[in-house]
Structure formats: structure tokens, C-alpha cells
Amino acid sequence: MKHIELFESFGAPNLPMPGGKKRTFTDAEITYYQRFWNRVHFKYHANKFFASMWNKMKTKKELMNKQWEELEFLLQNGKSRYEAGILPKNY
């Protein structure tokens, strides 16, 4: 029964992808998210983690699913998941 779930979501669009899969972006999606990126605080533009993901999204038009989760949260909420308290800060 474990294998049935894999075949049900095989090739189906708009379903959540497993963590290792890539998410591709169209030019329209990139221009849409560009507006959100321009509104994000400047510290995220200077942050290597988020800036590299954004540049990869613009140039290669693809991100790994986990990278997209982080970047999407930032674009939607204006802060990272760590700052929002969703992910723990290990000191």
C-alpha cells in the first residue's frame, strides 16, 4: 500500500512534490514574484542564502522544493521562517 501513493501523484501537476524534486518557473511567475522580492527588506537582498536562491530562480528557472519553501515563505510574509518562530534557532 505504500507504493500506491507514489503512483497516484506521478506526473500530476500542481501536487506537492517530495523534498528532492525540482520546481520549475515560467517567466510570468518570475515577474510576479519579482514584485514581492522588491518589497522584501534589504537585509534579505544582502543575505547570501536568500540572494543565491533568488538568483538561481531567475537564471536557471528552477529550485529544489525545500529551497522554494523557504523563499516562498519569505516572499509571502516578509520574514524568514526562523524570524517567524516556525523553525527553531539553535544557539
pLDDT of 8 reads 47
For the chain, residues with pLDDT lower than 50 are 5, 7-9, 12
What per-residue confidence (pLDDT) applies to 42?
Answer: 92
pLDDT at 22: 85
End-to-end CA distance of the chain: 41
Q: What's the grid cell of residue 38?
A: 522588491
Amino acid (1-letter code) at residue 70? E
Q: Torsions phi, psi of 23, nearest 5? A: -110, 125
Evaluate whether 63 touches 71 at the Cβ level (below 8 Å): yes
Cα dihedral sign, 37-46-49-89: negative
The ranges assigned to domains in the chain are 47-84
Structure confidence at residue 21 (pLDDT): 79
